[in-house]
């Protein structure tokens, strides 16, 4: 056999061995890298959304604090309270006060994006509302609404800023938060409480943005009662406070843990779930979950595996064919040489 042919045959055999060893090794390394990239992306989205949601709540605490110290609120609350006690909501004195202060407080409602702003005196009388809903004119300390969320919020808000969890508002026809703060006069004497009704849509805007999460990616919030605090696009009906989530990821997040793992979601579909509790919120104990279906997340890995197998197969066929043809040619030449030698004899 000529030296050149030996070199080509040796190279072909070495290349086949190289494919057998490198193929699985490359697949293992690149699969791990792709998996890590997917997980890192979900963690990044989780942390960004967590920060946005927490900042949203921090801002609302700050807003209500500022509102409670606003001179318009400080001046109007005792005046509304006195007029209400003396003649009620329809008295001329009350209407006169409202004609001046009402529009100013309504401006704050629009500025802060609230659904409503209520003023409550120290006895629990709701003496003013930008929108005259069912609470206005009632007593939320001793009346029929004292055991409702608004009554509980008022009781705590006489001492410090308080925010409620989500609740349904029949007047707003939507879910809202209640955020409240004590109101003091210039002598630091408590004169009442200001309560703002904040629309759920403010949170929904943050959660509904799921860019970069593919077709099956989703973000959702779960409360400490394990019911969803956000809408799910996988259900036609509203899931807020209606869909219970008892997945391993959600329960682990509500215990205060942050992690990423493969587990079944609330649809019982395998997903990669990056989850975390919302930290440092005084009144809200929620968990945030960012997820994508395993099938979609690892689709690129499966595609890469198929492509790698096809490429390896094609190269193996070409190399094998070359070796076969080379050996066949060598055998034919050897046979011809033998026959020629026999004829020479």
pLDDT in tens, 257-279: 999 999 999 999 999 999 999 98
**Per-residue model confidence (pLDDT) at position 20:** 60
Work out the mean pLDDT of the chain and round it to a whole number.
86
Q: How far is CA 325 from CA 5, 9, 13, 281, 335, in A?
A: 12, 11, 14, 74, 15
The pLDDT of residue 193 is: 98
> Coil, strand or helix: which one is 237?
coil
Query: From CA 198, how far away is CA 184, in angstroms rounded?
Result: 22
What's the CA dihedral at 31, 33, 38, 41 to 10 degrees? 180
Rounded mean pLDDT of 190-207?
93
What percent of the chain has pLDDT above 70?
77
- C-alpha dihedral over 316, 318, 322, 324, to 10 degrees? 60
pLDDT at position 27 over 90: no
Q: Could you give the angle at which helices 71-87 and 92-112 cross, rounded to 10 degrees? A: 140
Reply yes or no on whether the pLDDT at 32 is more than 80. no
Give me the residue label for tokens 């630091």. 188
Length of the chain: 345
Q: pTM of whole model > 0.85? A: no
Q: What is the pLDDT of residues 87-138, one digit of tens each?
A: 999 999 999 999 999 999 999 999 999 999 999 999 999 999 999 889 999 9
C-alpha angle 83-197-229 in degrees, rounded to nearest 5: 160
Looking at residue 25, its pLDDT comes to: 57
Mean pLDDT of 57-69: 95
């Amino acid at each position: 056999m000529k030296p050149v042919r030996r070199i080509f045959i040796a190279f072909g055999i070495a290349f086949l061995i190289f494919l057998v060893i490198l193929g699985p090794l490359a697949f293992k390394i690149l699969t791990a890298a792709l998996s890590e990239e997917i997980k890192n992306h979900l963690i990044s989205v989780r942390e960004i959304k967590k920060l946005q949601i927490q900042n949203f709540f921090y801002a609302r605490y700050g807003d209500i604090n500022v509102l409670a110290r606003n001179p318009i609120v400080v001046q109007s609350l005792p005046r509304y309270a006195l007029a209400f006690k003396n003649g009620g909501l329809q008295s001329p004195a009350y209407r006169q006060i409202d004609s001046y202060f009402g529009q100013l407080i309504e401006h704050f409602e629009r500025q802060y994006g609230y659904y409503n702003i209520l003023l409550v005196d120290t006895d629990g009388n709701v003496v003013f509302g930008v929108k005259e809903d069912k609470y206005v004119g009632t007593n939320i300390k001793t009346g029929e609404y004292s055991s409702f969320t608004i009554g509980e919020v008022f009781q705590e808000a006489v001492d410090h800023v308080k925010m409620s969890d989500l609740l349904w508002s029949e007047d707003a026809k939507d879910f809202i938060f209640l955020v409240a703060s004590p109101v003091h006069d210039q002598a630091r004497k408590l004169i009442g409480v200001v309560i703002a009704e904040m629309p759920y849509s403010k949170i929904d805007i943050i959660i509904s943005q799921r860019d970069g999460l593919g077709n099956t990616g989703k973000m959702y919030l779960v409360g400490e009662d394990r019911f969803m605090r956000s809408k799910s696009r996988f259900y036609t009906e509203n899931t807020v406070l209606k869909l219970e989530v008892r997945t391993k990821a959600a329960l682990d997040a509500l215990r205060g843990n942050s992690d990423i793992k493969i587990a079944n979601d609330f649809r019982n579909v395998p997903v990669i779930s990056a989850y975390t509790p919302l930290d440092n919120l005084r009144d809200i104990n929620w968990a945030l979950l960012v997820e994508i279906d395993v099938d979609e997340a690892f689709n690129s890995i499966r595609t890469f595996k198929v492509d790698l197998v096809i490429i390896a197969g094609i190269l193996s066929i070409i190399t094998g064919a070359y070796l076969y043809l080379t050996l066949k040619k060598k055998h034919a030449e050897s046979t011809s040489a033998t026959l020629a030698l026999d004829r020479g004899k």
